[in-house]
C-alpha cells in the first residue's frame, strides 16, 4: 500500500466537517471556475470537473445551478486562493488551504486557532518540503479496463504509477503533476471516461507518529480550523489512525 493510498484511505474513513460545509467549499470553487471560464460546462473543463465532484458529494442539482447563477451576478465577491502553514501541537505540520474574499479576516481566524492550540504559524512555503502537491482525478472505471496499459498510457501525461481503485463505488483515482492538470483531464475525457472529477491535494511525504492523546488534540485543532467558511481543506503529516484503533 503506497503512502498516498494510505493517507487518502484514512481520510475516507474519517471525514472532518459536514455536508453543508462541503457544499459551501464546492460553491466557492464553482464561482472561481465560472468567472475564469464562463458558465457553460461544455466550454469550461474546470467547471465540468467540479460538477462531477459535486455529484460525487451528492450535492443537489439545484445547488449546483444556483452556485453557477450566483457566480454570474455583479455582486459576487472575487475569491483568492491563500495557503497558511505551520506547526501544531506535538510538532505536527499543518497546511491550511483557503478561498477567501477577505485575506485579513482569514489569516486572523487561522492564527487564532494556531495560538489556541499552542501552534506556530509560519511563512508561505515553509512546509513545502513536507508535502507533495498533486493533481488528483477520480472517474468511473470502464468495464474490461487493463490497468497496466492504462497507467502506461497516462505516464506520458505525468501521472504517477500509484493509483487507487474503489470497487464499491466503481471508481479509479490517479495522481499527477499539478502543472499537467488540464492535459490529464482532456485525455481522460477524450478516452471516454465518465464523471471525471479533478482537484488538487497535498500528500505528506513523511508521516509523524502520535499517541492517542496527541491525536485527539490535533483532530480538535483540524475540526476548529474547518469550521471557518474560508477554509477549503486542512492537511497534516500525522500518521493515519489504523482501522480498529
In this model, does residue 95 exceed pLDDT 80?
yes
Number of domains making up the chain = 1
Report, as an integer, the average pLDDT of 1-21.
46
| Residue 7's pLDDT band (cuts 50, 70, 90) | very low
The pLDDT, as a whole number, for residue 117 is 96
pTM: 0.80
Position 60 in a domain? yes
> Using one digit for the tens of pLDDT, what is the confidence trace for 205-236?
889 999 999 999 999 999 999 999 899 999 99
User: Is 81 part of a structural domain of the chain?
Assistant: no
With a cut of 90, say whether residue 73 has pLDDT above it. Answer: no
Higher pLDDT, 107 or 78: 107
Q: What percent of the chain has pLDDT over 70?
A: 89
For the stretch 173-189, pLDDT in tens is 999 999 999 999 999 99
Is residue 28 assigned to a domain?
Answer: yes
| pLDDT tens, position by position, 113-131 | 999 999 999 998 888 899 9
Structural domain contains residue 234: no
75 band by pLDDT with thresholds 50, 70 and 90:
low
Q: Does 216 fall in a domain? A: no
Residues 6+ apart with CB under 8 A from 177: 134, 135, 158
| Within-domain flag for 93 | no
Percentage of the chain exceeding pLDDT 90: 63
Asked if residue 20 has pLDDT above 90, the reply is no
Question: pLDDT-derived band of residue 57, with 50, 70 and 90 as boundaries?
Answer: confident
In a domain? residue 126: no
For residues 144-153, average pLDDT: 94
**Is the residue at 24 inside a domain?**
yes
Q: What CATH number is associated with residue 29?
A: 1.10.10.200
Owning domain of residue 55: 3-71
Amino acid at each position: 500500500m503506497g503512502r498516498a493510498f494510505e493517507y487518502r484511505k484514512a481520510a475516507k474513513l474519517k471525514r472532518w466537517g459536514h455536508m453543508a460545509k462541503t457544499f459551501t467549499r464546492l460553491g466557492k470553487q464553482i464561482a472561481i471556475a465560472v468567472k475564469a471560464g464562463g458558465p457553460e460546462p461544455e466550454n469550461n473543463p474546470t467547471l465540468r470537473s467540479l460538477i462531477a465532484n459535486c455529484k460525487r458529494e451528492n450535492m443537489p442539482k439545484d445547488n449546483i445551478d444556483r452556485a453557477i447563477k450566483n457566480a454570474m451576478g455583479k455582486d459576487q465577491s472575487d475569491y483568492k486562493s491563500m495557503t497558511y502553514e505551520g506547526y501544531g501541537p506535538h510538532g505536527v505540520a499543518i497546511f491550511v488551504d483557503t478561498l477567501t474574499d477577505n485575506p485579513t479576516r482569514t489569516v486572523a481566524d487561522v492564527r487564532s486557532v494556531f495560538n489556541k492550540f499552542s501552534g506556530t504559524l509560519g511563512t508561505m512555503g515553509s512546509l513545502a518540503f513536507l508535502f507533495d502537491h498533486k493533481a488528483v482525478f477520480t472517474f468511473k472505471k470502464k468495464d474490461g479496463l487493463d490497468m497496466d496499459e492504462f497507467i502506461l498510457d497516462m505516464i506520458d501525461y505525468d501521472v504517477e504509477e500509484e493509483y487507487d481503485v474503489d470497487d464499491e463505488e466503481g471508481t479509479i483515482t490517479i495522481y499527477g503533476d499539478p502543472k499537467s492538470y488540464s492535459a490529464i483531464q482532456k485525455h481522460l475525457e477524450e478516452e471516454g471516461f465518465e464523471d471525471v472529477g479533478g482537484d488538487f491535494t497535498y500528500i505528506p511525504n513523511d508521516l509523524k507518529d502520535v499517541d492517542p492523546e496527541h491525536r485527539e488534540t490535533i483532530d480538535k485543532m483540524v475540526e476548529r480550523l474547518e469550521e471557518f467558511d474560508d477554509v477549503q481543506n486542512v492537511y497534516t503529516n500525522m500518521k493515519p489512525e489504523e482501522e480498529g484503533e
